[in-house]
Structure 1
Amino acid sequence: MSQQPAAVPFTYTDVGATAGEFPPGYDHFQLRRRIGSGRDLFERAGEQIRAYRIQHGTGIFQYASTPTAEPGTDLTVRLGVGPFGITAPCRVVYVLDEPNRRGFAYGTLPGHPESGEELFAVEYDPADDTVNGLIAAFSRPGVWYVRLGGPIVRLLQRWFAHRYIATLRPR
C-alpha cells in the first residue's frame, strides 16, 4: 500500500483507515459479493477498478487527474440528473496492489457532501478460486442536507455499493 500527502486537506482526520479498523464516530459499511472465479477475472477486475470502471459503470464519474488511480489522484464524481446534481471531490488515499487484493480508496475533500473514505477492491481466494468485489466505507454527513437525509442517504450508499460490484461481473 502506497500513500502520498496532498495540498488540499481531506475533510476527516482518519485518512487511510479503510485499510484497517474503521474509526468510531462514523457510519461503517462493508459489502463483499462474489463476482466469479479465476485468476484472470481477478486480474481484469483489478485493472478495471484502478481505471475507475466502477464510477464510469454507475454513471457518476466526472473527472480524474490520472488515467488510473494513484495515491494523490484527484477525482470528482457527480450524483444527480441534469442541473440537479451534487459534485463530490475526492482524492485517492492509497492503492492496493497485493497478490490477492487490488483496488484503491479515496477520501473526501472540501465540497463533498459527506466526510469519510471509501474502498473499492477485488479479492482473490486461491483456496477455492473465488473472486469477490468489496466496497467498504466509513462516513458521516458533511453538509446539512445529508444530515437531514439520514437513513435515506445510507440506503442510497448501500444501493450504489451493489451497483458498483455489479459493474465488475463478467458480461
Structure 2
Amino acid sequence: MRRGTFKDETVDYAAVGATQAPDLMQYPPERSTPAEESWRIGSGEARFQTASESLLAWVAQKGADLTVKDVRPASGPMYSGVSFDAEGNPIAPSSSEVEQRFDTDGTPFVAAGTTIVVEGRVKGFNADGELRVIFAVEEPRRVGFALGTVGGSVVSGEESFMLEWHDNDEVWFTVRAFDRPVAILYRMLPTLVRRRRRELFTRYLRAISPLYTTPA
C-alpha cells in the first residue's frame, strides 16, 4: 500500500485537497466552479491493474492531448504520508519510504510532491500550466491522485483522478475538480470554465477507458 500527500505554499489556491470533500458539489471553494463525473470502465482485477498503471503514468493527461514535460519529483526522500480515505477523511502519516518508479520512457510515475508542466489547447484556448501532485494513493482496490495548479494556467484549482475496484467487481473511474477563472477572458465569460472542464473530462475518459481505444 502506498499513500502520500504533499502540501506546499507555492500552489496558487487555498483549499488544498478539497476535491476529496464529500460535499464538493454543494459547497465548492469560494468563486470556484465544481465538477464531478464517474464512469464504469470495465470489471475485474486485470482491468483495474491496467487502468491503474496507465493513470500513474500520466496517460489521462497525455491522452487528453496535453504534453506532459519537466516532470520533477519532490526533493528529498519520498514517504508514505497523510492521505484521504474514500470518504475524504485524512489518514495519519507513516514513516515508511516510497520507491520512485519510472515509465518505459524514463518519465517518473505519479508521486506526492511531483511537479509537472503541461501544454496544450482545450476548445481552442490555451491549457498550459504548472501543476503539483497534492496527494497520491495506491491501495489494493483504490488508486489515484490529485493535481493542484501552481501557476501559469487560465484557471486556479484542483482536479483528482480516482480508480476504484468495487466489491461487485466493477471498475469505476472518477474525476472531480474545482476551477476558479484567472485569465481575463475566463473571468468575463465564466461559461468557458464549464466548457473547458467538460472537454477535459471527456478526454480523460477516452484516455483511460478501453471502450474508447481505437485499433492501431
Select between 99-108 and 61-70 the one with higher mean Cα deviation: 61-70
Q: Indicate the SS of the match to 2:50.
A: helix
Return the alpha-carbon distance in structure 2 between the equivalents of residues 56 and 100 of structure 1: 24
Q: Indicate the SS of the match to 2:110.
A: coil
Query: What RMSD in Å do the two structures reach over aligned CA positions?
Result: 1.9
Return the alpha-carbon distance in structure 2 between the equivalents of residues 55 and 29 of structure 1: 17
Select between 51-60 and 137-146 the one with higher mean Cα deviation: 137-146
Cα offset, 1:79, TM superposition: 2.5
Which is greater in Rg? 2
Normalising by structure 1, what TM-score? 0.88
Which residue among 53, 58, 63 is the counterpart of 2:64?
58
Q: Indicate the SS of the match to 1:140.
A: strand
Matched, 1:10 2:11: yes
Return 5+ residue gaps in structure 1 as ranges.
none
Answer whether contact 1:61 1:77 (CA < 8 A) is retained. Answer: yes
Normalising by structure 2, what TM-score? 0.71
Answer whether contact 1:102 1:121 (CA < 8 A) is retained. Answer: yes
Return the alpha-carbon distance in structure 1 between the equivalents of residues 14 and 29 of structure 2: 12
Answer whether contact 2:149 2:157 (CA < 8 A) is retained. Answer: yes
Return the alpha-carbon distance in structure 1 between the equivalents of residues 35 and 137 of structure 2: 19
Answer whether contact 1:71 1:95 (CA < 8 A) is retained. Answer: yes
Between Structure 1 and Structure 2, how many residues are aligned? 167
Select between 25-34 and 59-68 the one with higher mean Cα deviation: 59-68
Residues 86 and 118 of structure 1, relative CA distance in 2, 3 Å threshold: closer
**Which structure has greater strand proportion?**
1
Cα offset, 1:86, TM superposition: 4.1
User: For residue 161 of structure 1, what is the aligned residue in structure 2?
Assistant: 201
Residues 8-157 of structure 1 mapped to structure 2, 5 A cutoff: 9-21=10-22, 22=24, 23-25=28-30, 26-63=32-69, 64-66=71-73, 67-80=108-121, 85-126=126-167, 128-157=168-197
